[in-house]
């Protein structure tokens, strides 16, 4: 089913799709930009969802991009797929592409979307034009990487709870969800829990983009924390593929001041993905607005 949608008055006009999967689930998909452009799957962070867009929503059409975002299972309007792996994200992309008549495509993922973008690049390489991983975590247990080192207390607690199991993680994330939604409702740009202490540059970005964050997080967390739980657990068990197998054009970007996904994760990925183009900044997890146009041009195949 496809309908014109504007989820809230200030969300840019876009298309909404509800796509069935072979195993009987539903994936909620949003489509932005040029409907005849280069298909681009943009995979959201953790937590996150399909209602995500740049402050200048004309960017997609200007670059000739048909941008597709979707709620990973358990977020927003997508059916939960309990026990999913990172690799399972590639199967969901296949289902969406089949339903929308898409052959080849580009893919990008930020933060918790990064591993899922890497899964698509590794497992669907014959269809992937190019892949960007932005502030992505590296695999848990990767040789030579201290996974938790440099993370703020909130992320350490979150991943430690994921390792302890769903019951422990659910209790923590339900509290974090309540805090985040209340702070967003209050217009508080410091919308993470108190243990997620962010650097100055990240706090400035959170305040600048607060309106879009409100749309993004209130929609994806509306049904609860199932998607967030399943993301965190998936990150701490085998991903289902090796990043070393990726052979598509890769663009890896991350920041030295990131205390959610420390730069050591980006360094590890850069060292283990053959031929990757690597861009390292001095900013934090929320990135640098000045590079958005350049990155979109790369994803569209016009560097």
Give residue limits of the domains in the chain.
Answer: 2-299
> Is residue 280 pLDDT above 80, yes or no?
yes
CA separation for the pair 170, 150 (Å, rounded): 24
CA separation for the pair 37, 62 (Å, rounded): 10
The strand pair at 65-70 and 277-281 is best described as: unpaired
Class of CATH domain 2-299: alpha beta
The stretch 21-50 carries a mean pLDDT of: 98
Alpha carbon separation from 210 to 223, 288, 301 (Å, rounded) = 21, 15, 30
Quote the percentage of the chain above a pLDDT of 70: 97
CA separation for the pair 123, 27 (Å, rounded): 20
CA separation for the pair 280, 108 (Å, rounded): 17
The distance in angstroms from the start CA to the end CA of the chain is 35
**Per-residue pLDDT tens over the stretch 156-182:** 999 999 999 999 999 999 999 999 999
Ramachandran class of 144: left when φ > 0, alpha when ψ lies in -120 to 50, beta otherwise? left
**Per-residue pLDDT tens over the stretch 194-252:** 999 999 999 999 999 999 999 999 999 999 999 999 999 999 999 999 999 999 999 99
83 cis-preceded (ω within 30 degrees of 0): no
- Nearest by Cα to 209 from 99, 277, 285, 96: 285
**Per-residue pLDDT tens over the stretch 248-258:** 999 999 999 99
């Amino acid at each position: 089913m496809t309908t014109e949608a504007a989820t809230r008055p200030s969300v840019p006009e876009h298309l909404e799709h509800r796509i069935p999967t072979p195993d009987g689930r539903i994936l909620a998909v949003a489509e932005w930009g040029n409907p005849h452009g280069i298909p681009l799957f943009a995979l959201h962070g953790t937590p996150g969802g399909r209602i995500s867009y740049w402050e200048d929503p004309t960017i997609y059409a200007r670059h000739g991009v048909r941008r597709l975002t979707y709620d990973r299972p358990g977020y927003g309007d997508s059916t939960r797929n309990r026990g999913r792996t990172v690799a399972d994200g590639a199967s969901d992309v296949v289902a969406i592409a089949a339903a929308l008549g898409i052959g080849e495509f580009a893919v990008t993922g930020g933060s918790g979307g990064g591993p899922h973008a890497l899964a698509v690049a590794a497992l669907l390489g014959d269809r992937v034009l190019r892949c960007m991983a932005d502030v992505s975590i590296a695999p848990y247990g990767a040789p030579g990487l201290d996974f938790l080192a440099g993370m703020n207390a909130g992320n350490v607690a979150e991943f430690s709870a994921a390792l302890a199991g769903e019951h422990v993680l659910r209790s923590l994330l339900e509290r974090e969800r309540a805090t985040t939604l209340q702070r967003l409702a209050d217009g508080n740009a410091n919308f993470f829990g108190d243990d997620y202490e962010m650097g100055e540059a990240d706090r400035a970005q959170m305040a600048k983009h607060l309106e879009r964050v409100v749309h993004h997080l209130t929609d994806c967390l509306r049904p609860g924390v199932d998607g967030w739980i399943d993301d965190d657990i998936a990150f701490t068990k085998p991903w289902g593929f090796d990043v070393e197998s990726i052979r598509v054009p890769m663009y890896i970007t991350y920041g030295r001041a990131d205390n959610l996904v420390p730069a050591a994760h980006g360094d590890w990925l850069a060292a283990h993905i053959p031929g990757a183009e690597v861009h390292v900044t001095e900013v934090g997890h929320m990135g640098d607005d000045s590079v958005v146009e350049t990155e979109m041009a790369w994803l569209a195949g016009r560097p």
